[in-house]
Amino acid sequence: MSPSRNAQRNVRDVVFVDGVRTPFGKAGEKGIYAGTRADDLVVKCIRELMRRNPSLPADRVDEVAIAATTQTGDQGLTIGRTAALLAGLPRTVPGFAIDRMCAGAMTAVTTTASGIGFGAYDVVIAGGVEHMGNHPMGAGADPNPRFMSERLVDPAALNMGNTAENLHDRFPAITKDRTDAYAAASQAKLAAAYANEQIQHDLVPVATMKPGQGWALHTTDEPPRPGTTVEDLAELRTPFRAHGRVTAGNAAGLNDGATAAVLASAEAAEELGLSVKMRLVSYAFAGVEPEVMGIGPVPATEKALKNAGLGIEDIGLFEVNEAFAVQVLSFLDHFGIADDDPRVNRYGGAIAVGHPLASSGVRLMNQLARQFEEDPSVRYGITTMCIGLGMGATVIWENPHHADFEAFATTATTEGAAA
């Protein structure tokens, strides 16, 4: 008998159970992950998630979604499936790969979360990996010549640094002095978070071996430059434009690293005794002019807020990916938020810690989840980022430690029972 097309389907609550990441490294021959495979990095994350959540049977994982921007070599071959097999998950667990450039891991989360909400999955693992040392951004790409011949985009849109300079042009109030000050603050906030041991819990130790150097165990991020001052940043060259404003100091670097998270339906989390660190409220993606891709988080956030029935004033914490300082400041200016607002990137951001492209979305979620635990007064927070070729992504989360969260859950349960 065929199911009725009119049969009611209830959308289920999706919860963020746990997330981990490798320490982020600097891309290149001198980086900590030179000679290390990308897929091995994400395998370490998956194994650590299973170790930290012993009440989750491996055969209850319904899907593994792993993102990579450059899907070739050790980041190719349907990395979600290969990483699941390499991590020792049962062969019955399927997997797939995702590419949405910088928002790869974020898209892995929202795509599998949609499957949970629809009822296709109960528990998933979602994350991302980028080894920019093995795979420099754009290496091997072959952009269609129509992009240039038909002027579909400005040639500058294919270089992220140029798009950041374009954003400065569009918003002249965002000066280099402001971006340098923001960047120095990011370094200081990350250093403070490390001193307070707010970062270390999320990190998976990674052992690497280099010929002639032997084995090394990496337990902290490589990119941070604690003690960076505005005066230091003022001396850096502007590689994308003569007398420009974007430098290596007020932008994220080229990095290697991996992330992974466990998501589940609220019912499955309760059944399996899994923690609930956040509840997904809404998400949205938006397209913008590729030439100013950094403005993408603005329309994405507006869409996500509208979908959730919330206003920007309802958001108590912001995790904004710092691809470029100018990109973050354009977001803050649009919403009337001060450069040094304490709700924004409390642990610092990608300018300090690094941005291994497709992996970064889950890093933002890890940090927001920990801040939710530290600050029960905050009910809603967002993770948001710009995306190459002119897009933005935003996910809104609810804090389970907030006083009103339990009331919401009880109301939802009661309404479901009444229905």
Give the sign of the dihedral formed by CA 190, CA 235, CA 257, CA 322: positive
Specify whether the CB–CB gap between 416 and 10 falls below 8 A.
Answer: yes
User: What are residue 96's DSSP bridge partners?
Assistant: 65
Integer Cα distance of 101 and 68 in angstroms: 7
Q: Checking DSSP bridges between strand 380-387 and strand 315-320, what pairing results, if any?
A: parallel
Catalytic residue among 131, 355, 401, 402: 355
Q: What is the token pair recorded at 23?
A: 């320490």
Structure tokens at 347: 């642990």
Which contiguous run of DSSP H or E holds residue 218? Answer: strand 214-218
**Which is nearest to 206 in space by CA: 223, 225, 222?**
222
How far, in Å, CA of 54 to CA of 118, rounded? 26
Contacts of residue 105, Cβ cutoff 8 Å, sequence gap at least 6: 67, 126, 127, 128, 259, 358, 359, 360, 361, 362, 363
Whether the CB-CB separation of 368 and 267 falls below 8 Å is answered with no
> Using CA atoms, how far apart are residues 246 and 238, in angstroms rounded to an integer?
6
Q: What is the largest CA-CA distance in the chain?
A: 73
Q: 3-state DSSP call for residue 296?
A: coil
Say which of 102, 218, 401, 402 is annotated catalytic.
Answer: 102
Known active-site residue 386: yes
Which H or E element spans position 419?
none
Q: What is the DSSP letter of 27?
A: S
**Residue type (1 letter), 16:** F
Q: Is the Cβ–Cβ distance between 399 and 405 less than 8 Å?
A: yes
Catalytic residue among 168, 386, 401, 402: 386
- Which structure tokens are listed for 82? 């290969």
Q: What is the DSSP letter of 315?
A: E
**Known active-site residue 355:** yes
Q: Give the DSSP H or E segment for 65.
A: strand 63-67
Q: What is the number of H-type helices and E-type strands within the chain?
A: 13, 12
Q: Which residues contact 227 (CB under 8 A, 6 or more apart)?
A: 187, 191
In 3-state terms, the chain is what percent helix, strand and coil (to 5)? Answer: 40, 20, 40
Query: Catalytic residues, which ones?
Result: 102, 355, 386
